Each structure stands twice: as structure tokens, then as C-alpha cells.
Chains A and B, each alone.
Chain A
């Protein structure tokens, strides 16, 4: 159903993992839905920059939404991943005590987890820990078999693509500036790309959910950005750990402590730190935290050397609780008391990735209480991702190349990504055109040479596919141009100016 005049039944503000999950959940019903995302792709705010952990649910206070939705999300995660073709591996987690005093903390976590109905939790001694994790130091651990890992970017993209296939409209590079309530009780949403109207607004703007909430009413919501920095280790050392390795959480900390996370692709992440910062767009990495992360990783295993680091990055948590208080407040998922049909999702930090689908279901429940939405009988829960050449057996590889010779061209050497995969990523259904959109979809440029070999090739394929001028090739959305123009065609104005100036100077002399 094509909407008229940019009018939708429901507008979701924010294309993070939660916004995309809500979009997919709503596409199961006969409603017109739009997602407005201010960046050039989905998931760039919080969703793509975390540990990619599918939490079991023992870290959260019993009775809270965080606990309930996390456990629910963990249980349904494998099925979701199967439907939308996202990798997910139940590798289990160990929370490691280094000192005697910490064992009490393990017991607390275990009983908290059991109250939350987390299954299989077990306290293990140092011998058992050694067997699970030969390279990790510790005197005891809490073992959680239900904890899994996934790809946070592929999950967000897959949810969005499946929603799109089921009729949801996505508007990228669309930033909401203000929201007004019209006389007919619809909303008018003003963006940098024009106006939208809708009957419902769902505020899943993550870091900016407070700002969006304030656009319609005065309330007490406030989001503090809390930064977490990470190191990524070379795949060559993936043998260092087998499970997620966490420290015992400290009371009042903004995160779960610096941990070691095997990623779904075979790297290891060290991090994240937790540091309240002022600006919501400050994704810097800092030398002091980088040093701290390396040092803390060595507390787990002295074998971890800074020489294994191939990249460092940071992400942000959308925290409600001010730094002075510390710890966590529960998720807020509720309709506004004063403004009809406005639903707020505030402070969705960890375990938001795990809980994305249950959160989405809850939002739909809220709407359904009032609207009784009709099922969309043509909803297709399945979506196929980009086939990974490297993961196929030899026979299939040969067949693939025969059908599509572009599978025979390796573009990214480190991750062995083929031209066919790059082309599929470039022609992604959401229409994201940045270089990092290709990176997130294929893993090209994520290996140890960090794009040294393939970046220029991918830029060329991107430019040819969309007939872009050099300056239109972006790293990550607007204003992140990679090139300033052609070298030989002096279209570059500052270049011309400078040359003519120096000529004049010569004349003056």
C-alpha cells in the first residue's frame, strides 16, 4: 500500500535494532509504517557498536522489564535468526572471579539469574574453568550455557530488510526536527526531508529519545551518553578463548565490566569501558582507555598482547541514570499519558539487542489494546542475507563461480569477500550507499589490513554502480567524502585558486 502525501498509520523514529524490530513486528499487521532514520543506514547509533552478545538474563534485577524481556529475547533468538538469516552461536559465558571476595558476587548472580528463570547456571571451580578456558586465569566462575553471540549489524539490517519486504517504508538521512499534534489528532513530523503525518508516533530514537519525547511534551526523560571503547583482535588469535569471558560486575558501574567477547566472525573484542561523556556524537577513542583495556585483558590472560589489536572503536550507551547515581534504571516502554498515540522507548541500553524482538512485541501490544490491528496474511517472516562464498564447500564454490563469475573475484583478501558479495551489498534494498554500509554487510575492510587492499577497489565498484562523482563516495553518510575530486581535471576549486594566486605573486615579483 503506497501512502498518500507522506501519511502513515505509524511512524517509527529511529532505525536502530529496536526501531527495526518494531517495524518488522508491525509489518505483521495491516498498517502503513515508516521508519525515519537520520543516518545513511540503519543501526549506526548504538546498535552496531556493542559486543554483539545475546545475554542470558542473570545480570538484571528480578521483576524488571530488562530481566523479563532479556530472558524472553534469549529464548526466541535462535528462531528469529533462522527466519531472517542472521548468524547466532550459543557459545556460553563464564563470569570469572579472580579473588575470593568475588565468589559471593557469583552466587548472587546465580540466584538472581534463577529468579529470572535463566537456565543452566552453574558455579564452577578453577579446574573446571581451566578445562573450559585454558588461557584464562581465575579461581571460580559462573558458567552460563545459554549466552550466545550474534552480529549486531547483520541483525539490525536483517530486521529492516524483512520489514521493508513486508511493506514498511524506510527513509534514510531523514532527521526529525519537530513534531506537532494536528486538529484531527494526527501528528505532523517535520524533518530535513520534508513533512510526514501519522496517527501514531513510536519514539525509538535511542540516544536522542529524550529529545524526541520533548518535542511533544514536557517530561523528565533524560538520556546521558555513556561511552564504551573496544579493541578488536586479529582472527589469528581466536584460539585464546572459547566462551565470553566477563569479570564479576562492580556495583554502581555503568557497564558489565571490561570483558573478552569472541565475535561471530572469529575476532575477539576487548571492552567496553564505561565513561559518561557530554556529547552524544563523541565516538572518540582515547589513549588512556586504550591502555586500560589492554591491561584489563591481561588480567584475564597474560597471552593477550597489544600487538594483536587491528582496530579500536567506541560505542555509546543511552543511559537514563545520571553518573552520580550509577548502575541502571529499567527500560521505559510506555504510551505518553498526555499525548494520545505517542509511544516512548527510553533508556534501551544493554540488553536491548537481545530484547529487541520482545520490546517490539510489547509496543505492538500497547497499540493493539486500543486499535485491534488486522493481521497481514501476506507477511513473510523469512529473509535471505548475502551468501558468503568463503563459508561454502569446494563444490558449491565452483558451482557459484560458474553461475556468477563475480564469485571468482576476491575483492577483500583478509576476509575473502568476493565481488559478487560486494555488489549485493551495494545494491542493498534499503539503499544505503556508504562504504561502511558495505563493510557491515560483507565484512570487507574488517580484516587485519583494514581495507588497505580492498578499499580502493570497493570505492571503484561503488562509484561505477551509481555513476557517482569522486566526491560523492562517502565513508559514512553525508560530509564523509573520501576523495576531493579527480586529480587531472582541475575541478577542485581551492586547487585552481591557489595556482592562480601563486601566478599573480610571481608577476608581482
Chain B
């Protein structure tokens, strides 16, 4: 069985950044396994700009952003497989790959999970009504339009204000379709404020907050949807139902980290993030298997995916040198106001980046790290928004002495 130092599952934003970082740190024996027929993953269908502002200090499109990494992979001759799907991953880090050449097993010293995420579907959120054609998740519609050159519909309603849905509202409008409205179940948008402004308001597309789709009509193609306003407790406000004639419903109702392989490998998952429980180096509950990017937690900005991938590679290098030892185990406790925190546990003493999402939008909030009642660090935010991941770095000196760690938002 061929042996590899590092196998990276997924050749998208996270996998590419991890591969380049591994190479830069002197790891030579790398293999990227990508199931599609090109590198770059979902970035290839994200033809809008706004990528790379943090990482490259310039606004790039998705394909341009991916190309910066693909160029480095090509330059440094980092090996990769295309059209190759990992069928199975074992806790012993045996990787089984299928392609047109047959089945191939590899033994890896380190596996980096970089499989990204998938979209939540109609089935998972249970929208009532018939099951006609013309219902797409926003990402599928994006793929059809941007990569396959098809149009998905003419009169469109979008449910959910996730970023891909907002981007698609603008995209479809530019292609001559009529986007009637974007309905969001929550009283606030789940997309980034910049996308609300640039994709909806600039095109006069109404955003209906606290609204959802309560019925779908049509037996062949979708012929209409009924939307209704939701009250404070989530119930339908009587008399608020409105029927909208349309031929297409796009769903932008959330992303789910793609962890089927992780589950088979026995990796412990966090029920809230949907990703593996990880320590400060991105190492999962299975030794030598690391995770980064959307498979670990859903990101809103690709730059952070790249940064996260680079950051966990530090741990990969230490692991390969045999220097990654478990010095302690501190569970990071989650207090009020926060939906999740990554990493979920600390096992060593090093500078650590914590990522958070808040429960609801707020102003003038302070994030507090504390040990029992002792405050370790405070960070003030003028605005917080569940759509935006917060990242805070704590230094090794701040984390050195602690026995417990709790974070909360006040």
C-alpha cells in the first residue's frame, strides 16, 4: 500500500491552502484527493468578487482566488488526484480512493479533512406543499448558471437569506430573471450586511424578514408559493398569507459540514457546528486526523478558510515531528450569547485563535474569556451578527496558567 505523509481530502479552498502551507513548511510527501475534475472546488462557481480582501488585500473573484493557490500547487508540483472520490477513511488513517483507474488504498501519517460542506435541503426543513420541478438550493442554481450556462427560471422567490441566496438574487436579476422577494424566517438576515446592500438593496429586491414559505404549488413545474409572516414565537400571523406566482424557489437555508467520512472514521462531531470536535491545532478526536475549512465549521469568508488551513498545518508539522504531545485537556465552556466555539478543547499551550458565532445580532457587546471568575481577556465589538464569524487570538502566556476556560458574550 503506498504511504503518504499527508493526505488532504478535498481540493477546494481549505485543501489547497493546507497543501501549500504543508509544502512551505517542508513537508514533501503530500497528496490532494479531489472528486471533481478541477481544483478549487466551490470557488469556481463563485464568479462574483469580494474574495481575498484580507488575505491578498485586493478583491478577487472566486476562480481568481482559487487560481492563486492552484498556481502554487502547480509551481511546487504538489501531487493531486482529480475525479477521485474517497470511499472510506479508517481511524488508522487508511484512505480508500475510487477512480476510473480502480480502487486504491493509501496509508497516511496525517489526514487533513477539507471536504467542505453541503446545502440544507427542502426535505430537512419540511416545507409543505407539492413536489414540482423548479426548487433548487442556491448553490445548485449557482452551479447550473455559472458553470453549465443554464437558466433555472424566470420568476423567482428565494427562501433564506444566506450569502449564496443573496448572491444568486443579484446574479439572476442580471441575467434577466425577476427576483420577486427574499423571505427570511428570522427577524434578521443570515447573510453578510455587505451582501444585503450590494445584492438586494442595489437591485430593489425586497427582503421580507420574519417570513417563510408555507405552501408550494404546481404538479409539473412550480406554479407558485405562499409566504406568511411569523410572529415572535415562530407561529404564522393570521391573515398574513400571500400567494406569489413564480416558477422557481431557491433555498438558501444553511450549510452542513460534510462529515460522512469523518463519522465512518469514528471522529467525534460537535452537534452544533456539525464539524469534528477539534483542539487548538485542528486535530480531531482521532490522532493524526486534522480538519479545516467548512468541514470543521461553516465560514462566511474564504480568507478565513485559508488562514485556518495554514494555522492547523503548524500542528500537522509538529505531529509529524512527534512533538505534538497532549499536555492537558481543557474543555472550552460556552456561556451566554454564543452559539458555538472552535476549538472545543485545549490540549497544549500555544497562541490560539478562537472562532465564534453569536446567537443573535447585537450592539456594543463584549466577549469575555474567563477562568472561574477571573477574566483572562475581554474583547469589545461595536456590532455582532450571527452571519459573521468572530475570531479572537489568545496568546500562550494568557492561556498558560489556566485550569478551566469559559467564554461568554455580554
Cβ contacts under 8 Å, B124 to chain A:
309-310
A193 part of interface (Cβ distance < 8 Å): no
Which of the candidate stretches A21-29, A125-133, A371-379, A405-413 sits at the interface with the other chain?
A: A405-413
Which A residues lie within 8 Å of B122 (CB)? Answer: 311, 450
Query: Contact flags (1/0) for B246-263 with A, using CB distance below 8 Å?
Result: 010000000000001001
**In the docked arrangement, what's the CA distance between A483 and B222, Å?**
12
Q: Contacts A401-B100, A408-B100 given: A486-B149 contact, CB under 8 Å?
A: yes
Tell me whether chain A's interface is mostly helix, strand or loop, or mixed: mixed
Stretch from B132-140, B191-199, B327-335, B367-375 that touches the partner? B132-140
Q: Is the CB of B151 within 8 A of A398?
A: no
The answer for the CA separation of A207 and B131 in the assembled complex, in Å, is: 19
CA distance A483 to B178 in the complex (A): 15
Considering the chains assembled together, what is the distance between the CA atoms of A449 and B126 in angstroms? Answer: 14
Q: A309-B124, A409-B100, A492-B154 are known contacts. Are A283 and B130 too (CB-CB below 8 A)?
A: yes
Chain B interface, number of residues (Cβ within 8 angstroms): 49
CA distance A455 to B124 in the complex (A): 17
Q: Indicate if B325 sits at the interface (CB-CB under 8 A).
A: no
Give the residues in chain B near A232, CB-CB below 8 Å.
Answer: 123
Q: How far is the CA of A101 from the CA of B128 in the complex (A)?
A: 35
Q: How far is the CA of A294 from the CA of B118 in the complex (A)?
A: 25
**A325 beta carbon closer than 8 Å to chain B:** no
Given contacts A401-B98, A492-B154, A479 and B221 within 8 Å (CB-CB): yes
Asked if B320 is an interface residue, CB under 8 A from chain A, the answer is no
Q: List 7 A-B contacts (CB under 8 A).
A: A285-B126, A285-B129, A397-B102, A449-B118, A456-B143, A479-B219, A485-B151
Q: How far is the CB of B165 from chain A (nearest CB, A)?
A: 14
Question: How distant is the Cα of A483 from the Cα of B101 in the complex, in angstroms?
Answer: 34
Given A401-B103, A408-B99, A414-B260, CB of A452 within 8 Å of CB of B118: yes
Contact B123 A284 (CB under 8 A): no
- Which secondary structure dominates where chain B touches chain A? mixed
Cross-interface CB contact of A480 among B100, B123, B221, cutoff 8 Å:
B221
A194: min CB distance to chain B, Å: 23
Shortest distance between the CB of A149 and any CB in chain B (Å): 21
Contacts of B134 in A (CB 8 A): 482
Return chain A residues, CB-CB under 8 Å to B220.
Answer: 476-481
A334, CB-defined interface residue at 8 Å? no
CB of A313 within 8 Å of the partner chain: yes
A487:B145 contact, CB within 8 angstroms: yes
Contact A483 B152, CB 8 Å, known A236-B263, A449-B118, A452-B139: yes
B381 on the interface (CB 8 Å rule)? no
Q: In the bound complex, do residue B130 and residue A487 qualify as a contact, i.e. CB atoms below 8 Å apart?
A: no
Cβ distance B122 to chain A, nearest Cβ, rounded Å: 7
Of all chain B residues, the one with the shortest Cβ separation from A477 is: B220
Residues of A within 8 A of B35 (CB): 410, 413
Residues of chain B within 8 A of A452, CB atoms compared: 118-119, 121, 137, 139-140
* Interface-side segment among A52-60, A166-174, A198-206, A494-502: A494-502
Whether A311 contacts B123 in the complex (CB less than 8 A), given A475-B132, A482-B133, comes out as: yes
Provide the bound-state CA to CA distance between A477 and B219, in Å.
10
Asked if B266 is at the interface of the complex by the 8 Å CB criterion, the answer is no
Known: A470-B150, A486-B149. A284 touches B129 (CB 8 A): yes
B392 at the interface (CB under 8 A from A): no
B379 at the interface (CB under 8 A from A): no
Instruction: Tell me, yes or no, whether A290 is within 8 Å of chain B by CB.
Output: yes
What is the CA–CA distance of A9 and B119 in the complex, to the nearest angstrom?
52
Besides the contacts A312-B126, A401-B101, A484-B154, what 16 more A-B pairs have beta carbons closer than 8 Å?
Answer: A284-B128, A287-B214, A290-B128, A409-B99, A413-B35, A449-B119, A450-B123, A475-B133, A477-B220, A479-B219, A480-B133, A482-B134, A483-B144, A483-B151, A484-B153, A492-B151
CB distance from B291 to the nearest CB of A (A): 18
Partner of A398, one of B102, B176, B260: B102
Task: Determine whether the beta carbon of B103 is less than 8 Å from that of A397.
Answer: yes
Q: Is the CB of A312 within 8 A of B130?
A: no
A487 touches B133 (CB 8 A): no
Bound complex: CA A486 to CA B145 (Å): 8
B176 engages A499 (CB within 8 Å): yes
In Å, the complex CA distance between A376 and B35 comes to: 50
Knowing A477-B220, A492-B176, say if A486 contacts B150 (CB, 8 Å): yes
Contact pattern, B 314-356, Cβ under 8 Å of A = 1, otherwise 0: 0000000000000000000000000000000000000000000
A337 sits at the interface (CB 8 A): no
Q: Which of A408-430 contact B (CB under 8 A)?
A: 408-410, 413-414, 416
Interface string of A306-322 (1 = CB under 8 A from B): 10011111000000000
Residue pair B133, A476 in contact (C-beta under 8 Å): yes
* B202 within 8 A of partner (CB): no
Which residue in chain B gives the minimum CB-CB distance to A229?
B128
Chain A residue with minimal CB distance to B129? A284
Residue with the greatest number of chain B CB neighbours at <10 A, chosen from A232, A312, A405, A498: A312
A418 to B, closest residue via Cβ: B98
Contacts A401-B98, A414-B260, A452-B139; A394 near B103 (Cβ below 8 A): yes
Complex Cα distance, B129 from A313, in Å, reads 9
Once the chains are docked, how many angstroms separate the CA of A409 from the CA of B143? 20
Instruction: Tell me if A5 counts as interface (CB < 8 A to partner B).
Output: no
Known: A398-B103, A478-B220, A495-B176. A409 touches B149 (CB 8 A): no
Chain B residue at smallest Cβ distance from A405: B100
> Is A221's CB within 8 Å of the partner chain B?
no
Chain B residues near A498 (CB, 8 Å)? 176, 178
Q: Which residue of A lies closest to B83 (CB)?
A: A409
- For residue A405, which residues in chain B have a CB less than 8 angstroms away from its CB? 100-101
Most buried by A among B83, B121, B126, B260: B126
- Rounded to whole angstroms, the CA-CA distance of A495 and B177 in the bound complex is 7
**A408 engages B152 (CB within 8 Å):** no
Q: Decide yes or no whether B175 CB sits under 8 A from chain A.
A: yes
Chain B residue contacts of A474, Cβ below 8 A: 133
- Docked complex Cα distance between A397 and B103 (Å): 8
B53 on the interface (CB 8 Å rule)? no
Interface flag for A219 (CB, 8 Å): no
Question: Does B364 belong to the interface (CB within 8 Å)?
Answer: no
- CB pair B219 A485 closer than 8 Å: no
What is the CA–CA distance of A287 and B129 in the complex, to the nearest angstrom?
9
Q: How far, in whole Å, are A55 and B128 apart by their CA atoms in the complex?
A: 30
284-315 of chain A: CB within 8 A of chain B: 284-287, 290, 306, 309-313
Query: Are the C-beta atoms of B140 and A455 separated by less than 8 Å?
Result: yes
Does B87 touch A at the CB level, under 8 Å?
yes
Residue of chain B at shortest CB distance from A502: B176
What's the nearest-Cβ distance from chain B to residue A283, in Å? 6
Q: Is A402 an interface residue (CB 8 A)?
A: yes
Instruction: Given the known inter-chain contacts A397-B103, A476-B133, please indicate yes or no for A312 contacting B123, CB distance below 8 A.
Output: yes
**B246–chain A nearest beta-carbon distance, Å:** 12
Is A488 part of the binding interface, using a Cβ–Cβ cutoff of 8 Å? Answer: yes
A453 within 8 A of partner (CB): yes
CB-based contact B150/A453 at 8 Å: no
Nearest Cβ in chain B — how far from A388, in angstroms? 14
Q: How far is the CA of A287 from the CA of B226 in the complex (A)?
A: 13
CA A171 to CA B247, docked complex, whole Å: 30
A289 to chain B, nearest CB (A): 9
- In the complex, which of the residues B83, B140, B219 contacts A281, with contact meaning CB atoms closer than 8 Å? B219
B233 within 8 A of A: no
Name the residue in B102, B129, B139, B143 with the highest tally of chain A Cβ atoms < 10 Å from its Cβ: B102
Max chain A CB contacts within 10 Å: which of B99, B151, B154, B177? Answer: B151
Inter-chain contact B221/A285, CB cutoff 8 Å: no
In the assembled complex, the CB of B381 is this many whole angstroms from the nearest CB of chain A, namely 31
A487 contacts B175, C-beta separation under 8 Å: yes
Cα distance, A107 to B98, chains bound together (Å)? 53
Residue among B35, B131, B140 with the highest chain A CB neighbour number at 10 A: B131
